[in-house]
Amino acid sequence: MSVTQNNKALYINGEWVPVTSGACEPVVNPATEEVVGMAPVGGRVEAEAAIAAARQAFDLGQWARLSGAQRAIKLQAFYDVLVSKGDEIRSLITREAGATMIAQRVQFGIAMQHAQFFVNACNLDTTKPLPVEVHAAMGDHKMLGAGVTIREPVGVVVAITPYNFPFFLNVSKVFPALAAGNTVVLKPSPYTPFAALVLAQAAHEAGLPAGVLNVITGDKEVGEILTTDPRVDLITFTGSDNVGAAIQAQAAPTLKRLLLELGGKSALIVCEDANLDQATAAGVMNFTWHAGQGCNLTTRHLVHNSIRAQYVERVATMAKAIKLGNPADPDVGMGPLIRDAQRQRVEYYVDVARKEGAELVTGGKRPEGLDKGFFYEPTLFTEVDNKSRIAQEEVFGPVGVVIGYDTDEEAIALANDSQYGLGGGIFSQNVGRAFEMAKHIRTGEVYLNGGSGGMSSHAPFGGIKRSGYGREFGIEGLNEYTYLKSIVFHAG
């Protein structure tokens, strides 16, 4: 049965459990406004049952006590079932989240790449020796001391995910948490519940032990139950900085571990010697990719004044040429925003930018001929003050701003003049110069001349300042879900 046909039950303790209230709500295709399916809506009963199941599975079950190799076998089966559902999941990502065919490569393809990385990481030996030391004892006797450090799972992990990259982020949190030996309660955005319920379906088919993965839905009340319950040991959250701050406050009384990947207003620095073909292609992609609904997109373009006019003209021309429409069409380059409320947010910020004196180059309105769906034209502003709201606040829509600069030092200062610190980019044909600049940018990631050409599963990802803390992906991302323990002993 397709996951979109399940409108009555959530996945708790290895079973599909009907929601107590019987409540369900429509999930809407943001491109067509048609109903994808009816999703069950959980409440307090389901939240507390899921926490209890995860707690029992961790404390009394075998998952945390399995060897890494044993967990790898079970997670590989989970992975294989997800791969077998690839066509269904790709279609779901487009219909539920509005992702284009190109975006599916990240939303599904890179997600599964990361999943396989964490399956393989189960087999790594995390035991590390401490230096052997001689210690004075009674009289002339001396003792030989030694020790090791080991990594242990944190316990019960709550994963709360947003609507923009739902399947990708669900996989990116669930697999490392499970690989480390934790149990998980996953709560997706109400806009994209099916991208989480399909993981539950795959986990059930793969035979993951009961309570190891629980998937529930619900509103703000459910979220607060998950973030305040003392039985929860760690919260991993991706979303806005304001919600992240609220979660941090809710988690504080019980001193939970937190892994927060929050908002961004990342800067793309285009030096005077940049390859303009490469820089402008990256520039337009970074405010139109997934309709600008990406926290790590570089939507603040800092362009050397000697080439700024050329840059703006090229980017505007490319933005106008992007085909908007239903992302199920492989020729479509940009799909819709997730809901009309998000489109209204974009319209609000466009109006703010105009009032602040920014010059609208292209876009700034809803496209003609697309009466259904939550579409908005790719929008570019120039003559923007870096202190303005349009340059400082996260829009989360297809809006880019261009700010001029004259020196490398000024570019770095402008890039760092932000409450966020998630991503960034630099284009310069002097790669050594770009590398030196990157070291001074206060952010969790910087790509040079477009980056490596792919998203490495080995590269840790995360931010500083109001972009959050902690890292996802790589061994560092796996370690976020563990405690470090020292065991010391007599060696002789």
The whole-angstrom separation of Cα 50 and Cα 64 is 18
CB atoms within 10 A of CB 492: 9
> Angle between the 166-179 and 86-97 helix axes, to the nearest 10 degrees?
130
Torsion from C-alpha of 248, 251, 255, 260, nearest 10 degrees: -40
Q: HSE (CB half, 13 Å, CA atoms) of 13? A: 12
Q: State the catalytic residue, choosing from 261, 377, 445, 472.
A: 261
Q: Are strands 464-465 and 420-421 parallel, antiparallel or unpaired?
A: antiparallel
Work out whether strand 142-153 and strand 482-490 pair parallel, antiparallel, or are unpaired. Answer: antiparallel
Question: Which residue among the candidates 96, 295, 394, 480 is catalytic per the annotation?
Answer: 295
Report yes or no: 270 and 311 within 8 Å, Cβ to Cβ: yes
Q: If you ran DSSP here, which 8-state letter would residue 322 be given? A: P
What is the number of other CB atoms lying within 10 angstroms of the CB of residue 285? Answer: 18
Alpha-carbon distance of 258 to 235, in angstroms, equals 5
Active site annotation includes 295: yes
As a whole number of angstroms, the distance between CA 133 and CA 140 comes to: 16
Give catalytic status of residue 271 as yes or no: no
Q: Rounded CA gap, 35 and 52, in Å?
A: 33
What residues are annotated to the active site? 261, 295
